[in-house]
Chain A
Amino acid sequence: MNELLLIVSIAGSRVAMPAAAVESVVELDTLIPVPRAPAHLAGLSALRSRVLTVIDCQRSLELGATDLSDGNIHEAAVVELDGHNYALTVDAVEDVVEALSEPAAIRAAMGEGWERVSLGMVETEEGPLLLVDVAALIAGPGAEARAA
């Protein structure tokens, strides 16, 4: 069976995440900011009795900021990485599709932010989509600078 992909839109672009990595999709409730944390770390939220670290994907990609305090409902994909739960803010969650190919390198020039989180391009029934690396999205900008 081919890998299932979750299609979401971030900063106006449709991208795919490995569906297996995504535990659930939630609507974010109250958000507790974390002072002094990196900018893309929007804050903490609670999912039932678990603490979610909320990642603002737009900021992580350096494509603007999501206003999470505007009173609107914000959807987020919940993923687990190294034992911690994260909620990735997305504009919308669209669909789950089957991957029709292995990810292939994209040779066209992408935006810097996208470049950082890209795992390559996958073919789907809905056309080619960028497969994003959830871990890189969580690490956010500056992760490479810190590592270097």
Chain B
Amino acid sequence: MDDLIADFVAECREMLESLGGEIVAWEANPDDRSRLDSIFRFVHTVKGNCGFFDFPRLEALSHAAEDALADCRSGRRVPDGALVSAVLAIIDRIGEMIAAIDAGEELPSGDDSGLIDALAPGAEGAAAPAVATVVADNGAKGSNATPRTIRLSVELLDRVMSGVSDMVLARNELARRLREAPGEVEVGGAFERLSGIIAEMRDAITRTRMQRIENLFVALPRMVRDLSSELGKQVLVDIDGGDVELDREMIEMIRDPLTHIIRNAVDHGIEPPADRLKAGKREIGLLSVSARQSGNQILIEIADDGKGIDGSKLVEKALANGVIERDVAQRLSKGEQLALIFEAGLSTAKEVTAISGRGVGMDVVRSNVERIGGVVEVDSLPGKGTRMTLRVPLTLTIIPALTVSIGKQHFAIPRSAIEEIVRANGASVTLETIGGAGVATIRGRRVPEVALADVLGLPNTMSDDERTLVVLRPSGGDVYALAVDRIHDHEELVVKPAAPAVMATGLYAGTTLADDGSPILLFDPAGLAQVGGVRLETLERGGRAAEAPAAANSNEIPVLLFRGLDGARRALRLGVVDRIEEVEAKDAIRHSAGQLRVQLGDAILPLAGVDQPDALEGKVRVFRLNDGSHEIGYAFREVIDLKSLDRDVIPADAPGDVGGVTLIEGEPAELIDAHWIFAEYLGVAATRPAAQLVCRLPENDAWMQNMLRPIIEAAGYLVIGEKDELSADITIVSQDREIAAEQGGRVLRLATDPDAADGLDSVYRYDRTGLLIALKAASAGRR
């Protein structure tokens, strides 16, 4: 019986954990059947088991919740905030009871009737107004099938893991012995089988230590919901990157800091709805939590759009509390001012609330994060919001790496930093020494070259030409080529931190064990470059990087590299691109009023970038270019990448839409001359007098007045009636009506039958594109 109860408790716990997020998501979208189902399944399971185990209170609770949810399922009742809160309260109570059962205690005494009553339709009481909603990136998937799991201590896992590692070593030893003294074929076969099984086990056991960060994120929506309803705020949580994998232990270590930062953001960052409206923001605050892998670090960002942190207030507070001296305070940069938030005993909140603001916290957050070798950074704009970034090392996580060697010694390079691998004696590569510094030219691109042997101070046994170049791009840095003697294999390595003295060299990111059991050092690509003397722009900015604006280097202009419709590689300065849109060629692109135009939403824009308008078909992507007052469309095939323009531009001979040619990523690209395009395609419209455009509509035609008029007015026209004396730019009438006299401007006839329209002077009356193009053409015709 005890075993059965233990199973029941474990099962309930698993379900409870995954349920927290589900129920809030269900509240945000009460029609979401799959979430309703999974919550229903939980209470149903509890109810079923309770009857069997004789827990009457649990049974009554789950039964009541099941009934209410069953009503929702059958459509007899619409779930609302009150119901969700009541169900949440019941699930919480069930959780408490299960914890008590697990601990072998008596069930806590108490009366559940209040909770059960709160479920009734229209009930008040425990139910707080629901204010938090959630957008989870796994929205549709849901997690209805909870896998069967058991709980293990990490210690045991570690023991199993090191046991398996030892087994691998023993296998390798045995393999060597077998090779030295060849035995019978059967022995070899059996060994192969054993070997395969061990490899499989190793894979599985390594994976047991990894956990998706989702497990940490899944509780956040519920937490934010509870917090925000307590504080009377409205917060939308946006969670991203839940599939990033992190070491189990690491997840536990960042749980508290993350929780604390989020509590702070909701409590101090995001303002009450009234204040937000006053500040011209949306009533609902946005809290986004995202995780991603960057090089050998995991980045977790928590950003809110609240009131931000006032650096000078922090300084005042720090002075008042004696955290810093006055002369120091005056020299602090903005970033350093903000960093004061991590000092012990500082809190900018005027009032201490129950949630946070007791002045303990951010310092604990920092020390906890630093203990696992991580960094926490803060960036904030007063009035705009705060962004906290947790950088946690990837150590103890598995990273894909390339093994290389110098002489007889093997090293590993994280694969994420590798751009490409080329042979030094290959046709597309030349090596030169300029003033003692190595420069490799790879397909026309010049990159600094460093011989690994020199960096490491190892004897040079190979001539440069025989080496292999590994082109590296450290996270946030520039490319360089590393010359190694040989490259070996791609491997997945479990990286562990190396001893401090090893890390102090700045060259290594950690150590790992190769399959044969010998240690391998994992390089830190940025460190290698630094020791090797390669100047990396971003590294030079160093510790004060956050202070320098991103575009400080005016020589580097960000450009969007893309392929035009004709297949040519082109680049466009990023600044002029508003956004990218996709349109159906046959519906939205037309030739009218002397040029090709594209309809984007309610706007008709001149379209550039098309050589053969007839060849357009299917979906066409269009850049929306903006010069500040006018817009132009530019059709293209695909975006290649976002790059920066750092080389000279060879100007084109004659002015045209291509202003010049430059090298981007070692290949030529045509640079679009945005000025020429605007001048050419917009010349007429741009100089158009700002006089009011006038459109004449029949007054007594209800359809035109009610349905057409708003569209025409939205297009910038003043609408007049048949009797008005103003001269109209365009007159719109129905197909079957005759116009008495020439009233000025173009005449557009609307046909009620699509077949009767000729697309020029008459348009089918629900052909919105046709209408808009005709209106545009009339305005262009005015000159």
Interface residues of A (CB under 8 A from B): 30, 32-38, 41, 44-46, 48-51, 53, 82-84, 86, 138-140
> Which residues from B are CB-within-8-Å of A86?
499
Task: Compute how far the CA of A51 lies from the CA of B511 in the bound complex, rounded to whole angstroms.
Answer: 8
Smallest CB separation, A55 vs chain B (Å): 9
Task: Compute how far the CA of A1 lies from the CA of B710 in the bound complex, rounded to whole angstroms.
Answer: 96
Smallest CB separation, A140 vs chain B (Å): 7
> Which residues from A are CB-within-8-Å of B162?
48-50
- Of the candidates B166, B409, B497, B519, the one having the most CB atoms from chain A within 10 angstroms of its own CB is B519
**Is B618 among interface residues, defined by CB-CB distance under 8 A?**
no
| Among candidates B457, B497, B519, B531, residue contacting A32 with C-beta atoms closer than 8 Å | B519
The verdict on A49 contacting B502 (CB below 8 Å), with A35-B457, A36-B531 known, is: no
The verdict on A49 contacting B499 (CB below 8 Å), with A35-B507, A36-B456 known, is: no
Interface residues of B in 445-502 (CB under 8 A from A): 455-458, 496-502
Task: Compute how far the CA of A48 lies from the CA of B519 in the bound complex, rounded to whole angstroms.
Answer: 11
Cβ contact within 8 Å between B517 and A35 = no
Instruction: Select from chain A the residue with minimum beta-carbon distance to B496.
Output: A51
Closest 5 CB pairs of A and B: A49-B165, A35-B456, A44-B519, A53-B499, A36-B505
**Is B518 among interface residues, defined by CB-CB distance under 8 A?**
yes
Cβ contact within 8 Å between A41 and B517 = no
Chain B 640-654, CB within 8 Å of chain A: the 1/0 string? 000000000000000
> Which residues from A are CB-within-8-Å of B360?
none
The verdict on A49 contacting B513 (CB below 8 Å), with A36-B457, A84-B499 known, is: yes
Instruction: Select from chain B the residue with minimum beta-carbon distance to A38.
Output: B501
> Which residues from A are CB-within-8-Å of B501?
37-38, 41, 53, 138-140
| Among candidates A35, A37, A46, A139, residue contacting B513 with C-beta atoms closer than 8 Å | A46
Smallest CB separation, A103 vs chain B (Å): 26
Task: Compute how far the CA of A7 lies from the CA of B517 in the bound complex, rounded to whole angstroms.
Answer: 30
Interface residues of B (CB under 8 A from A): 161-162, 165-166, 169, 409, 455-458, 496-502, 504-505, 507-508, 511-513, 517-521, 531
Smallest CB separation, B737 vs chain A (Å): 89
Cβ contact within 8 Å between A53 and B518 = no
Smallest CB separation, B746 vs chain A (Å): 79
Task: Compute how far the CA of A51 lies from the CA of B396 in the bound complex, rounded to whole angstroms.
Answer: 13
> Which residues from B are CB-within-8-Å of A49?
161-162, 165-166, 169, 513, 517
Task: Compute how far the CA of A48 lies from the CA of B163 in the bound complex, rounded to whole angstroms.
Answer: 9
Task: Compute how far the CA of A34 lies from the CA of B512 in the bound complex, rounded to whole angstroms.
Answer: 13
Q: Would you mind naming 15 contact pairs between A and B with Cβ atoms under 8 Å apart?
A: A34-B502, A35-B458, A36-B457, A36-B531, A38-B504, A44-B521, A46-B513, A46-B517, A48-B165, A49-B169, A50-B162, A51-B512, A84-B497, A84-B499, A139-B501
> Which residues from A are CB-within-8-Å of B409?
32-33
> Which residues from B are CB-within-8-Å of A35?
455-458, 507
> Which residues from A are CB-within-8-Å of B505?
34, 36-37
Smallest CB separation, B511 vs chain A (Å): 5
> Which residues from A are CB-within-8-Å of B519?
32, 44-46, 51
> Which residues from A are CB-within-8-Å of B161?
49
Instruction: Select from chain A the residue with minimum beta-carbon distance to B531.
Output: A36
Task: Compute how far the CA of A41 lies from the CA of B500 in the bound complex, rounded to whole angstroms.
Answer: 11
> Which residues from A are CB-within-8-Å of B457?
35-36
> Which residues from A are CB-within-8-Å of B517?
46, 49
> Which residues from A are CB-within-8-Å of B498?
44, 51, 53, 84
Smallest CB separation, A18 vs chain B (Å): 20
> Which residues from B are CB-within-8-Å of A36?
455-457, 505, 507, 531
> Which residues from B are CB-within-8-Å of A38?
501, 504
> Which residues from A are CB-within-8-Å of B496?
51
Instruction: Select from chain A the residue with minimum beta-carbon distance to B410.
Output: A32
Cβ contact within 8 Å between B458 and A41 = no
Cβ contact within 8 Å between A30 and B518 = yes
Instruction: Select from chain A the residue with minimum beta-carbon distance to B519.
Output: A44
> Which residues from A are CB-within-8-Å of B504?
38
Task: Compute how far the CA of A44 lies from the CA of B522 in the bound complex, rounded to whole angstroms.
Answer: 13
Cβ contact within 8 Å between B502 and A32 = no
Instruction: Select from chain B the residue with minimum beta-carbon distance to A43.
Output: B519
Instruction: Select from chain B the residue with minimum beta-carbon distance to A48.
Output: B166
| Among candidates B169, B458, B511, residue contacting A44 with C-beta atoms closer than 8 Å | B511
> Which residues from B are CB-within-8-Å of A84?
497-500
Cβ contact within 8 Å between A46 and B499 = no
Task: Compute how far the CA of A140 lies from the CA of B166 in the bound complex, rounded to whole angstroms.
Answer: 31
Instruction: Select from chain B the residue with minimum beta-carbon distance to A45.
Output: B519
Smallest CB separation, A138 vs chain B (Å): 8
> Which residues from B are CB-within-8-Å of A30?
518
> Which residues from A are CB-within-8-Å of B512?
51
Task: Compute how far the CA of A30 lies from the CA of B502 in the bound complex, rounded to whole angstroms.
Answer: 18
The verdict on A51 contacting B513 (CB below 8 Å), with A32-B409, A32-B520, A45-B519 known, is: yes
Smallest CB separation, B171 vs chain A (Å): 13
Task: Compute how far the CA of A140 lies from the CA of B499 in the bound complex, rounded to whole angstroms.
Answer: 13
Smallest CB separation, A11 vs chain B (Å): 20
> Which residues from A are CB-within-8-Å of B166?
48-49
Cβ contact within 8 Å between A46 and B507 = no
Task: Compute how far the CA of A49 lies from the CA of B512 in the bound complex, rounded to whole angstroms.
Answer: 10
Task: Compute how far the CA of A61 lies from the CA of B40 in the bound complex, rounded to whole angstroms.
Answer: 70
Task: Compute how far the CA of A41 lies from the CA of B511 in the bound complex, rounded to whole angstroms.
Answer: 15
Smallest CB separation, A129 vs chain B (Å): 27
Smallest CB separation, B339 vs chain A (Å): 24
| Among candidates B169, B500, B520, B531, residue contacting A82 with C-beta atoms closer than 8 Å | B500
> Which residues from A are CB-within-8-Å of B511?
44, 51
Task: Compute how far the CA of A139 lies from the CA of B504 in the bound complex, rounded to whole angstroms.
Answer: 12
Instruction: Select from chain A the residue with minimum beta-carbon distance to B512.
Output: A51
Task: Compute how far the CA of A51 lies from the CA of B455 in the bound complex, rounded to whole angstroms.
Answer: 24
Task: Compute how far the CA of A82 lies from the CA of B165 in the bound complex, rounded to whole angstroms.
Answer: 23
Task: Compute how far the CA of A61 lies from the CA of B162 in the bound complex, rounded to whole angstroms.
Answer: 34
Task: Compute how far the CA of A73 lies from the CA of B179 in the bound complex, rounded to whole angstroms.
Answer: 25
Cβ contact within 8 Å between B513 and A53 = no
Task: Compute how far the CA of A82 lies from the CA of B499 in the bound complex, rounded to whole angstroms.
Answer: 9
